[in-house]
Chain A
Amino acid sequence: MSETLSRSATGPNYVLRRILAGTTLRLVLVSICLLWTLPTAGVLITSFRPYNDIISSGWWTVFETPFDFTQWTLEHYGTVIAEEGVGNAFLNSLIVSIPSTVIPITVAAFAAYAFAWMKFPGRDLFFATIVGLMVMPLQMALIPMLRVYTRLGLSGSFLGIWLAHTGFGIPLAVYLLYNFISQLPRDLIEAATIDGASHFQIFTAIVLRLSLPAIASFAIFQFLWVWNDFLVALVFLGGGREVTVLTTQLSNLVGTQGQGWHVLTAAAFVSMLVPLSLFFTMQRYFVRGLLSGSTKG
């Protein structure tokens, strides 16, 4: 905007105008940022307020007396973790997310290596299929897989959901890792082959090590995708108390606690704890991972 005004850079008002334009720009950006932060801030602040305060005044009133420590409490966190099943769901989310990140990456990395550096019949057709399946709606798999799972007794088991996340995550994982692994220098792979290294050795000793940045980015994406996933967990794991993950438990609480904002806000914040810490500690990988994996669903 300031450049537009600079066309009339002759008058005495020029400096004043520039300052005004700069201020407008900053004002607009500050308002947008506020708009983006306030909803989350409201939930965070509310989760630390006593129940009676929450229902009798808006969360913004805490700023009238921010240092009055009697208006803060950790009580709701104790309640949701111990009594509302959120602590249990947190552990379940970890049980689901960590293998659901490592298994697809392992399977996909081996496959990506084969697609990039080995010759086998049907290679191009398989790869084109993978690219096509990347945007396949999850909904297409729900009915048949639910039936298969019920028949095999995999519904509501951790093994079942690891396999589901692996199966649904494979196309994107193979595609992204292939993009990286196929760009590794050909000389490197050929030199190792001449030295008598097997494909397995080349893969584990050279390719895997060199692909670590790509793997790290995708790992963060896949982990967050699984951690934040609702539909796969709801269909294949169910909302049953024992195996429920954070997203399904939070949705259960919305159903049972409708207006119990003390419980809902604390539970919501517990569910955001891991993604937010990843966001703040590994922002670079985080952004890269989310960007590369954004077509998934």
Chain B
Amino acid sequence: MVGTLVVSALAYLALRWSFGFMRSDDVPKVATMLVAIVVGVVGAWMLFWILNNLVSSIPGERLREFLQPFAFVGPALLLLFIFQIYPTVNTILISFLDDNSEEFVGLKNYLFAFTTEDLLTAFRNNVWWLVIVTSVTVSLGLLIAVLADRVKLESVVKSTIFLPMAISFVGASVIWKFVYAYRPAGTAQIGLLNAIVTWLGKEPRGWLIHFPANSFYLMVIMIWIQTGFCMVVLSAAIKGVPNELIEAARVDGANAFQVFFQVTLPCIRGSIITVATTVALSVLRVFDIVYVMTNGAFNTQVIANRMYVEMFKFRNFGHAGALAVILLVAVTPVMIVNIRNLRQRRS
């Protein structure tokens, strides 16, 4: 008991010292980095060690047995409450208050969301993003999975398509901004797309400026990133389809297309739904790409970007809160289905 308290006190002092150290400007960055990493990593372990020792030193057996699990699960529950449950409740409240969260304004923020021109564009764009990105990534992923299955270099093909998953959305945006780079006709085009267009004898275009196609060029970035994910999951699902089923269909005289659409596709239905849901969820919250590429200009606005603008540019927390709640409402069906699936698996 005494030992644990001494260790706790020492750990606390070390932590305080290290935060002072990390904040001071005159130490080299690399030293800060090493201290930060050691503090972060060792600190988490110390926490559990101390918690466990404190609980173990409780004299009453029943109280000890009762508290023991919370020494394990407590920190997680506490963080969950602070970072997820409290903010959710708070954001819902904020969405019914004015810009400074001082006075109750009823549904005014939601009314604003559904009547403002820029936001109506954002909703429309979000729907287009959902429909186009989800359907294209899933079908393209499926197509590549099926085709790659038939060649020797399957793993090379798959790695190539999967690679963009490793790159940040910001990095991917820079990559595609360069593809879309525009220079006036007559000068050398340095962007790949305009180079191809001028080579075909047409005028170069400012791809990100012209509505409504510009949103589509932003979606291409998301498709480029997410297709690999769909491909890998669906490829695994296709390989899991029992061979006997396919053989039987072939013996019955089905051709490759019939086998695919009438045997393989129904078998992997579950995987397709999972993949489509996952892509749809990430598309719904798309922010980085729009922020970096156009910041919502030229009618490319999306909900998440407008929320950021409301928060940091207009400082209207009521509007921002309402937009966050709208995003929450959109993902609620998925939450319910996930919890229901969990219940079914348990029973």
Residues of A within 8 A of B (CB): 1-4, 7, 25-26, 28-29, 32-33, 36-40, 42-43, 46, 54-60, 88, 91, 94-95, 98-100, 102-103, 106-108, 110-111, 113-115, 118-120, 124, 126-146, 148, 157-159, 162-164, 166-168, 170-171, 174, 198-200, 203, 224, 227-231, 234-235, 242, 246-247, 250-251, 254, 259, 261, 264-265, 267-268, 271-272, 275-276, 278-279, 283, 286-287, 290-291, 294-295, 297
Contact = CB atoms under 8 A, between A and B. Distances in A.
B285 A137 contact: yes
Contact of A144 (B68, B76, B86, B338): B86
A18 to B, nearest CB: 12
Nearest to A290: B165
B340 to A, nearest CB: 10
A182 to B, nearest CB: 11
B224 A140 contact: no
B72 A199 contact: yes
B33 A95 contact: yes
Contacts of A33: 156-157, 160-161
10 contacts: A58-B188, A99-B40, A113-B72, A133-B85, A136-B84, A137-B328, A140-B324, A143-B317, A146-B311, A170-B84
Contact of B195 (A60, A143, A203): A60
A156 to B, nearest CB: 10
Nearest to B250: A3
B185 interface: no
A88 B70 CA distance: 40
B160 A56 contact: no
A227 B165 CA distance: 13
B233 A102 contact: no
A144 B90 CA distance: 6
Interface stretch (B4-12, B107-115, B127-135, B170-178): B170-178
A32 B144 contact: yes
Given A33-B157, A110-B48, A137-B328, A38 B285 contact: no
A279 B189 contact: no
Q: Choose among B39, B175, B304, B308 the residue with the greatest number of A CB atoms under 10 Å from its CB.
A: B175
Contact of A167 (B82, B178, B278): B82
A69 to B, nearest CB: 21
Contacts, number: 322
B324 A143 contact: yes
A135 B292 contact: no
Contacts of B147: 25, 28-29
What are the 7 A-B residue pairs with the smallest beta carbon separation, nearest first?
Answer: A99-B40, A167-B83, A228-B168, A111-B76, A120-B69, A114-B72, A3-B256
B335 A132 contact: yes
Contacts of A146: 311
Contacts of A126: 73, 77
Contacts of A55: 190
A260 B48 CA distance: 49
Contact of B69 (A118, A124, A290): A118
Interface string B268-291: 000000000010011011011001
B179 interface: yes
B88 A140 contact: yes
Contacts of B30: 91
Interface string B57-85: 00000000010111011011101101111
A247 B168 contact: yes
Given A36-B163, A91-B33, A128 B339 contact: yes
Interface residues of B, number: 112
Classify the interface of chain B: helix, strand, loop or mixed. Answer: helix
Nearest to B286: A297
Contacts of B72: 110-111, 113-114, 118, 199, 203
A44 B107 CA distance: 50
A43 B229 contact: no
A114 B51 CA distance: 14
A25 B256 CA distance: 14
Contacts of B76: 107-108, 110-111, 170, 174
B307 interface: yes
A26 B170 CA distance: 32
A265 B173 CA distance: 11
A271 B41 contact: no
Interface string B164-200: 1111111101111111010000001111100100000
Contacts of A26: 151
Contacts of B73: 110-111, 114-115, 118, 120, 126
B168 A4 contact: no
Given A36-B161, A98-B41, A251-B291, A230 B79 contact: no
Given A99-B41, A102-B40, A167-B79, A230 B170 contact: yes
Given A135-B281, A291-B233, A145 B83 contact: yes
Contacts of B248: none
Given A135-B338, A171-B80, A143 B36 contact: no
B33 A94 contact: yes
